[in-house]
Structure 1
Amino acid sequence: MGAILFWFTMGIGILLLGVYLLRSGLMALSHSRLERFLRQATHTPWKGFIWGALATALVQSSTATTVLTVGMVDSKAISFYQGLSLILGANVGTCLTVQLLAFDLQALAWPAIILGTLFLIPRPSRAVGLSLWGCGLIFYALSLMSSASTPLRDSAVLPGFLTAASNSPWQALLVGTAFTALLHSSSAMTGIAMVLTAQGVVPLPGALSIVLGANIGTCSTALVAALFSSRAAQRTALANLLINVAGALIVLPFLYTVAPLLSLASPNPARQVAHFHTLFNLLSSLVALGLLKPLSAFLTWLVPD
């Protein structure tokens, strides 16, 4: 059991390192352009929503887009109302990462690392090299976790968060929230849930609960970033948290009804988790976008200037 946990933990570490390198490379390529772009893309809520989603898909990090939005609201580059639409778009844009994780890309791990190494040598292309290294490590980590978790199906002793996922959706929600806040990556936490579901370690409803928790846990970074910022910036960070908490509380009681329906879209358990992640974020963001004005008024009342 110790060896299993060691290699699974090693896989988590490599996954987090890969996510960090991928973000660092993509942000180095586009950070300054991204900020200028977001300033110009918030003229209407729908524009902000669409471009927030595209920007997040570009940098592979909803946290990066959210924290950047909080900073721009704090500096009054955009209004709180405009920032809300960007955050809703960011929640949808992060789904691309999770959908990519559902593919079996193990064979591309080492070619990506080798090619990334070649790009790291010339200074102008180091950001590309970092991005390729990140992709390679992510692919390798998912393969490592998959291999390590296979024996867990027959084990009587599971790590605490696996047991929680199997026993209670509410406990799994809290575990997903806590681990994502600790790891600072909802994509990584969702990827872990996908691997464990595919290996039969965690039942599908438990994995879906972890995904809901991951959506909540990823709000922690923006909340910390807004802690000593303006009231408008605090409202922006709080809006992201409230939307994800409200969505999770509404959906959680129906997970055992939703889970069997996901097999209609794909027989692959990992892909089912990815589809649920996409559908949840898309629907909750669209509903919130339709309620943007009352939501903005409520948050302004909740966190007044």
Structure 2
Amino acid sequence: MFLFLLAIDFIGYSFRLLNKDIAESIINLTSNPFISLFIGLLITAIIQSSSTSTSMIVAIVASGSIEFSDAIPMIMGANIGTTLTSTLVSLSFITNRDEFRKAIGAGVVHDFFNILLVAILFPLEYNYGILTNLSSAASNFILGADYVVQDNEFRYFLLTKPIVIFIGNLLPYPIILAISSFVILALAVKFLAQTLYKSITGGSREFLQKYFFGSPYRSFFWGVVFTAGVQSSSVTTSVIVPFVATRKISLKQCFTFIMGANIGTTITALIAALFKSEAAVSIALVHLFFNLIGVLIFLPFPIIRSIPVKMAKSFGRLAMKFRLAGFIYIIVTFFLVPFALISFNREDRSDSKQMEKIEEIRKEPQNRPDSLI
């Protein structure tokens, strides 16, 4: 578990070394909700921690730099960005065609679920403010009118951060750190999966199927419990990938477990947020309602529940035929498209500001010296 968290922290550290100012330079571009969505996705993919990216958003909302409603699309994007970890883990099975097909399906089913959920909730939030209203009402009910905002900060990776900084100073090469981190991540997840499988089931596939994945609601329940226990959805959703790859559980069972993991991770964040600021509580509630609505839409209805599973299976077959498809999917979905859209939006805003200045100069020539006219 420690090696897993260390690898996650190293991946985020190595990406930040590549461009230290990228998160700070793009996080305030929130005038366009669609761009805000991709900002949350890109930042979480770079940092490799939805908790850290969420805390950054909370700090900016609390400072008054952006409105709470403007930050909600960023939270949606962060939900997609955090699924990168399990997709990265699935690439470690690339040497075995059949295992890779199942692993990549287990990795991307989480992506597809969140992408479909964003496609449903983003228009509702944009037009009706459904998540804004729900979270604001719940926050006022939980905290009350007399709640005093506390000036606290989120702190994560208290154990791994000193090690990461020490090694990062000794070896300040982000590419080497990123590659090494991925190797450690893959090894840690495989070892953790094997250990959990043997310790929980005694090596019995039948025991695992009967007591943990016997029904969709049972696997959903254990997804909530395990994730709330280890306080990291990245751990549970990544550990489940080797289970699917080695045929211990099916992709359908994996998907309902992942839905439970999404709820489990929001419970931990919500408890932690109660001791922070009002903005932290509201952000945690947005995360909770986002995933809870997704569960209510997909879990009770087998036909709807099968949609992301079928999409993941199709992509798994494609990745089995073309091994580079997995790498291309990660680069395009998590980095290329978000970064291109954000960069284009920044240039467009810069051009518009220049045009505004030119118009001001044209309209008010009498206010300047004759030498400038």
Q: Normalised by the size of structure 1, how large is the TM-score?
A: 0.67
Instruction: Show the counterpart of 2:3.
Output: 14
Q: Cα distance, 1:192 vs. partner?
A: 1.1
Are the counterparts in 2 of residues 120 and 129 from structure 1 also a CA contact under 8 Å?
Answer: no
Query: 2:47 is matched with which residue: 36, 51, 59?
Result: 59
Distance 2:25 2:268 in 1: 22
Answer yes or no: is the 8 Å Cα contact 2:227–2:264 preserved in 1: yes
> Which residue of the partner structure matches residue 294 of structure 2?
247
Matched residue SS, 1:200: coil
Mapped contact 1:70–1:226 kept (Cα < 8 A): no
Q: In the alignment, what sits opposite 2:253? A: 206
Of 85, 98, 107 in structure 1, the residue corresponding to residue 73 of structure 2 is: 85
CA deviations 1:76-110 (Å, max 9, x no partner) are 23211111111011112223333222212689xxx
Q: Look up the equivalent residue of 1:21 and give its one-letter code.
A: F
> Structure 1 residues 53 and 266, CA, compared in 2 at 3 Å: closer, same or farther?
same
Q: State the TM-score, normalized to the length of structure 2.
A: 0.56
CA separation in 1, counterparts of 2:14 and 2:211?
35
What residue number does 1:48 align with?
A: 36
Q: Counterpart of 2:172 in 1: which secondary structure?
A: helix
Deviations 1:149-178 (A, max 9, x none): 59979726746xx65442122222222122
Aligned residue for 1:197? 244
Contact 2:4 2:185 in 1 (8 A): yes
Residue 42 of structure 1 aligns to a residue whose secondary structure is coil
Deviates more, 1:87-96 or 1:19-28: 19-28
Of the structure 1 ranges 145-154 and 197-206, higher mean CA displacement relative to structure 2 is found in 145-154
Q: Partners in 2 of 1:192 and 1:81 — Cα distance?
A: 34
Q: What is the DSSP-based 3-state SS (H/G/I as helix, E as strand, rest coil) of the residue aligned with 1:41?
A: coil
Indicate the SS of the match to 1:51: helix
Question: Which residue, 21, 25, 37 being the options, matches 2:26?
Answer: 37
Is residue 2:263 matched to residue 1:263? no
Gaps of 5+ in 1: 1-11, 108-116, 283-305
More off after superposition, 190-199 vs 211-220: 211-220
Q: Secondary structure of the equivalent of 2:237?
A: helix
The alignment-based identity, stated in percent, is 28
Report the residue type matching 1:263 in the other structure: K
Shift of 1:13: 4.9
Mapped partners of 1:146, 1:153: distance in 2:
13
1:174 matched to 2:221 = yes
Compare 134-143 and 218-227 and name the one that shifted more: 218-227
The answer for the alignment partner of 2:235 in structure 1 is: 188
Unaligned runs of 5+ in 2: 96-163, 335-373
Radius of gyration: which is bigger?
A: 2
Q: 1:250 to 1:95 in 2, by over 3 A?
A: same
Asked if structure 2 preserves the Cα contact closer than 8 Å seen for 1:63 and 1:219, the reply is no
Structure 2 Cα separation of the partners of residues 269 and 183 of structure 1:
31
Deviations 1:2-24 (A, max 9, x none): xxxxxxxxxx5533332243345
